[in-house]
Amino acid sequence: MGDVRGAIAILGLTACGRIEFAPLDDAGRDVAVDMMSLECVPPPCAGAATARLCGDRCFAACAEIVMAVDSAPRCTAWGGTLAVMRYQADVDCVTGLSSSQLWMGYFQIVNAATPAAGWSWVDGDPSTFVNWAAGEPNDGATVESNTEQCGELYPDGSWNDEACGLFGEDGFACSR
């Protein structure tokens, strides 16, 4: 039998379609592992990274400065999406997760009627819960002109609409 050290076994698909892995020992047997710690870890990140398990959901933050457009693939490679917050409990989970501003999975359609109109979650979640910071969303100037179309998570858990082309302040938050 070949050397299987470092190999993994697919345990099965979770309800969310995720694949769970467990390492094998030298004889190819499953090794007892802490699945929770395996499951909720941050994605690879060239900055401060944290992850927090809340119920069955894992939220992760990466303080590496990225463009918004480059942030989503980092979360999908991790097995999730940019962070989706459907309830206050989700906001509570991400509050304090990072001291950085983070891209999140909330985007606005072009030519919305108002700064607050036309937002949707990247995973299609129909939740209408919002946690905008005071005075937000404002599209930068109160009147909607497609200036700020990307959701941004503040360290205190509140949200801001931000220009998607902004580079230099934001890391990203993922959930799965």
Residue 64 or residue 136: which is nearer to Ca ion going by CB? 136
Please report whether residue 148 would count as binding Ca ion according to CB under 5 A.
yes
Binding-residue pattern over the window 73 to 112 for Ca ion, x denoting contact by CB under 5 A = -----------------------------------x----
Burial of 36 (0-12, 13-18, 19+ CB in 10 A): exposed
CB of 144 to Ca ion, least distance (A): 5
Residue of the chain from 98, 100, 160, 175 that contacts Ca ion (CB under 5 A): 160
Residue 98 or residue 108: which is nearer to Ca ion going by CB? 108
For Ca ion, the binding residues in 108-147 under the rule CB under 5 A are 108, 136, 138-139
List, in order, residues 6 or more apart from 91 with CB less than 8 Å away: 85, 131, 157, 158
**Secondary element (H or E) of residue 58:** strand 57-62
Nearest to 30 by CA among 12, 49, 48: 12
